[in-house]
Chains A and B, each alone.
Chain A
Amino acid sequence: MLSDFGIVLLFLITGFVFVALGLITAAIIRPHNPNPVKQSTYECGEELISGSPWIKFNIRFYVVALIFLLFDVEIVFLLPWAVVFQQLGWFAFIEMAVFVLILLAGLAYVWAKGDIEWEKPKPYIPSLKDLVVERKQHFAE
């Protein structure tokens, strides 16, 4: 007699055994000759970012993700509405228009505040003047 949770337990056990078996078999069979390239983390063919992973990265990624989420959720609400739209009629249309308008106000806000401008970080190119100043400081010391 298996209860509903018994099945879940069986699945869990099977899952663990499956992974463990695979790893153990591989450890027994595979040849063992590591080198630095092999041991580096695979990052889709990109060059690795070396050093500590605790680096600062630009906050605009968060902003873009948040804005994306807003409109992603909008779709989730629009879809069931569209399915029953014909039965509900004008009332539902006005309700949804209000909802979309509120979201549009959000977009207008984000736009006006300049949060969807993708500012590229400007690379620092030293000019001759800067170099001269730097040199002078160096000699002054």
Chain B
Amino acid sequence: MIDQFIIELQKSISLFKPEATLAVTFVVALIADLIFKKSKNISGYISLIGFIVTFYFLFWQKGQNYGTFTQMLSVDPFALFFKFLILLTSFFIILMSFFSKELYINNRSLGEYFSLIAGMTFGMFLLVGANNLIMIYLAIETMSISSYILAGYTKEIHRASEASLKYVIFGAVSSGLMIYGISILFGLTGTLNLFEINNFIANNNVNIYALFFSVFLILAGIGYKISAVPFHFWTPDVYEGAPITITALLSVASKAAGFAVLIRFVKAAFIDNTQLDSEGIWILISNIDWRFIIAVLSVLSMTLGNLVALWQTNLKRLLAYSSIAHAGYMLMGVAVMTDAGVTAVMIYFASYLFMNLGAFFVVTLLANKIGSEDIDDYKGIGYRAPILGVCMVVFLLSLTGLPPTFGFIGKWMVFSAVLESNFIWLAVIGVLNSVVSLFYYVKIFRNMYVRGVEENENKENYQFHPIAIIVLLLLAIPTILFCLYPGPIANWAAASVGIFLG
């Protein structure tokens, strides 16, 4: 029996290479920082190399569908898609960090910063593949604890420490709720494995109120990570206080991991997987209609996010509320519970990666020059920083979801998936919200191009590092390119909806 166990373990470890690489990157980056004290960025370079090696190992995982470590972690196309997104995000975040002035205050080295990004990526990799409630909890904690520290990394800045503390307190409460929900679910079904939970609910009579209560608590824990209303209270403060690069990382990568675990949790535990519908419509096994509950969360998130964003004057805070709204749009895709909906969410995330990282990178670069993230300080800046201005317009158009950009494809896919499943009221609310969001995105480039032109007329243009411009273009060009040619990503996402099912 033990021989069999060891064979299983060896196969699991061979599929665990990307995560193992990240773990090694974390440790090596940390130690390198201790040895080479003179160099501030050494662990950043090591992390970049580690991420490239991880990319290499991820390519080899293509087409695998296996539950490693006795079904603790699954390696499947769905997880692979999200792993690529998360790794790409972390890669860009490290590149962006080299150009962020606020991180280097007091001439400090960023050893822990870069290695913690690797550690957080490791946590997110575990989260997207987790099949077991304890594994989900552990992965969420691995990811969260790194992000708590990263949010307060510039501890000299008062608002960063405040953000970090708020994040820890809200995070502790929500993970407490989550583990409480897990304990009730374990008590009801006697197992922590999602497939066995599915099996148990399908074949036994489970108390429906207890089931609803426990799953709602678990949804609260996941909802906190994807900052869905009403679990969003930490988002504006943390996004505003944390270093801009970390805000970008939280808004893209940890949200992607949260969505991945939400979809996997719902699909593996509450969907009848024995008789899969050919049209990709999921059949619920319990009497509780999760579609409606997630749809309500989605409507709340996008409406509140957009309406509050209208009044914001700080750009980071505005993007925080807009990210709550985007979580709402993406929840629409989850709420319909079809394969088309999940594909739409995945495409939306691919677009969200480029446009949101890009917008935050522009904010980083401008904050270096003008020392502020206030929208009123952006007056006429479009003329003084032409490339940044044009890129920012592209990213904002994409965030609104207007045609020549990738964001349009994402929104279009989500809305068409919602309409296909006859959730017409949901689609109407989504479209109305997109219209509202146009107002505050336009407010930003109105400030950049229309107001304060005379004041800035005779001033010199801002100078930016050429590599920073290249990184920016690497984010801006795909934002337009993938609208004109969305085929590869759409096909890849459609092929990746398959979740490992026991």
Contacts and interface: CB of A to CB of B under 8 A. Distances in A.
Nearest to A91: B6
B31 A88 contact: no
Contacts of B2: 87-88
A109 B30 CA distance: 8
Contacts of B30: 105, 109
Interface string B1-44: 01000100110000000000001000100110010000000000
A105 B6 contact: no
Interface string A61-95: 00000000000000000000000000110010000
A102 B27 contact: yes
A91 B27 CA distance: 22
Contact of A109 (B6, B10, B23, B31): B31
A108 B34 contact: yes
A49 to B, nearest CB: 27
Mostly helix, strand, loop or mixed at chain B's interface? helix
A113 B9 CA distance: 36
Interface residues of A, number: 9
A109 B29 CA distance: 11
Task: Bin the interface of chain B by size.
Answer: under 10
A108 B35 CA distance: 11
A140 B39 CA distance: 50
Nearest to A101: B27
Contacts of A105: 27, 30-31
A95 B67 CA distance: 20
Most buried by B among A88, A91, A109, A113: A109
Contacts of A108: 31, 34
Contact of B34 (A88, A91, A102, A112): A112
Interface in B150-200: none
Mostly helix, strand, loop or mixed at chain A's interface? helix
A102 B2 CA distance: 26
Contacts of B10: 91
A112 B109 CA distance: 14
Interface string A92-135: 00000000001001001100110000000000000000000000
A113 B37 CA distance: 11
A103 B31 CA distance: 12
A68 B369 CA distance: 45
A87 B10 CA distance: 16
Contacts of A112: 34
B270 to A, nearest CB: 27
Most buried by A among B10, B23, B30: B30
Interface string A4-27: 000000000000000000000000
A6 to B, nearest CB: 17
A108 B23 CA distance: 17
Nearest to B6: A91
Contacts of B34: 108-109, 112-113
Contacts of A91: 6, 9-10
Contacts of B27: 102, 105
Interface in B208-247: none
Nearest to B1: A87
A63 to B, nearest CB: 14
Contacts of A102: 23, 27
Contacts of A87: 2
Nearest to B37: A112
A13 to B, nearest CB: 23
Interface string B439-456: 000000000000000000
Contacts of A113: 34
Interface of B: 2, 6, 9-10, 23, 27, 30-31, 34
Given A88-B6, A91-B6, A105-B30, 6 more contacts: A87-B2, A88-B2, A102-B27, A105-B31, A108-B31, A112-B34
Lowest 9 CB-CB distances: which A-B pairs, in order? A112-B34, A105-B27, A87-B2, A109-B30, A105-B31, A102-B27, A91-B6, A109-B34, A105-B30
18 contacts: A87-B2, A88-B2, A88-B6, A91-B6, A91-B9, A91-B10, A102-B23, A102-B27, A105-B27, A105-B30, A105-B31, A108-B31, A108-B34, A109-B30, A109-B31, A109-B34, A112-B34, A113-B34
